[in-house]
Structure 1
Amino acid sequence: MLPRLKSVLVLPDAGSVVIHRRALERVHLDDEDGAVAALLGLLREGRRAEPELADAMAANGFTVSERDVAAAVAQFDEWGLLERAGDDETLPLEVRRRHESNLRFYDVTASLDVSSADQHRAVAAARVLLLGAGGVGSGVLQSMVGLGVGHVTLVDFDVVETKNLARQFAYGLAAIGERKVDAAKAWADSYSPGTVVEPVHRRVDSAAAVRELAEGHDLVVCAVDSPDDIQLMVNEACFELGIPYVVGGLAYSTLCYWSVEPGRSPCRRCLHLHRGDEGPMRDALFERNPVNRATGPVVQLLAGFVTMEAMRYLRRTEPPVAAACYHVVELADGMTTERHAWQHHPDCELCR
Structure 2
Amino acid sequence: MKLTNEQLERYSRHIILFGGKGQKKLLAGKVLVIGAGGLGAPAALYLAAAGVGTIGIVDYDVVDLSNLQRQIIHSTASVGQRKVDSARHTLEGLNPDVHVVTYNEWVNSQTLPQIIDDQHYDFIIDATDNFPAKFLINDACVLGGHPFSHAGIIRFGGQTLTYVPGKGPCYRCIFDTMPPAGAVPSCKEAGILGAVGGVIGCIQATEAIKYLLGQGELLTGALLTYDALTMRFRKIPVGHNPHCAICGDAPSIHELIDYKQPVCESKVGKGSL
Query: What is the TM-score of this pair, normalised by structure 2?
Result: 0.82
Of 99, 102, 111, 1:209 maps to: 111
Structure 1 runs not aligned, ≥5 long = 1-89, 111-115
1:91 alignment partner in structure 2? 3
* Structure 2 residue matching 1:97: 3-state secondary structure: helix
- Asked whether the 8 Å contact 1:266–1:351 carries over to 2, the reply is no
Q: Supply the distance in 2 between the matched residues of 1:289 and 1:234 (Cα, whole angstroms).
A: 19
Structure 2 runs not aligned, ≥5 long = 250-273
2:57 alignment partner in structure 1? 154
2:223 alignment partner in structure 1? 326
Q: Supply the distance in 2 between the matched residues of 1:325 and 1:100 (Cα, whole angstroms).
A: 32
2:254 alignment partner in structure 1? none
* Structure 1 residue matching 2:77: 3-state secondary structure: helix
Specify which structure has the bigger relative contact order, considering alpha-carbon pairs within 8 angstroms and separated by 6 or more residues: 2
- Asked whether the 8 Å contact 2:154–2:192 carries over to 1, the reply is no
User: Cα 1:272–1:118, aligned 2, differ >3 Å: closer, same or farther?
Assistant: same
Residues 283-302 of structure 1 correspond to what in structure 2 (within 5 A)?
Answer: 288=185, 290-291=187-188, 293-302=191-200
Letter in 2 for 1:244: P
Of 15, 18, 32, 1:129 maps to: 32
How many angstroms does 1:239 deviate by?
A: 1.9
How many angstroms does 1:201 deviate by?
A: 0.6
Q: Supply the distance in 2 between the matched residues of 1:282 and 1:164 (Cα, whole angstroms).
A: 27
1:218 alignment partner in structure 2? 122
1:234 alignment partner in structure 2? 137
Q: Supply the distance in 1 between the matched residues of 2:75 and 2:155 (Cα, whole angstroms).
A: 26
2:96 alignment partner in structure 1? 193
Residues 130-145 of structure 1 correspond to what in structure 2 (within 5 A)?
Answer: 130-145=33-48
RMSD: 2.3
* Structure 2 residue matching 1:229: 3-state secondary structure: helix
Q: How many residues align?
A: 245
Letter in 2 for 1:205: N
* Structure 1 residue matching 2:220: 3-state secondary structure: coil
- Asked whether the 8 Å contact 2:157–2:228 carries over to 1, the reply is yes
How many angstroms does 1:351 deviate by?
A: 4.3
1:62 alignment partner in structure 2? none
- Asked whether the 8 Å contact 1:128–1:153 carries over to 2, the reply is yes
Q: Supply the distance in 2 between the matched residues of 1:295 and 1:281 (Cα, whole angstroms).
A: 23
User: Cα 1:340–1:295, aligned 2, differ >3 Å: closer, same or farther?
Assistant: same
How many angstroms does 1:136 deviate by?
A: 1.1
Q: Supply the distance in 2 between the matched residues of 1:232 and 1:336 (Cα, whole angstroms).
A: 27
User: Cα 1:252–1:296, aligned 2, differ >3 Å: closer, same or farther?
Assistant: closer
Question: Is residue 340 of structure 1 aligned with residue 216 of structure 2?
Answer: no
Letter in 2 for 1:340: I
Runs of 4+ in 1 over 4 A off after TM superposition: 280-284
Query: What is the TM-score of this pair, normalised by structure 1?
Result: 0.64
Largest Rg, 1 or 2:
1
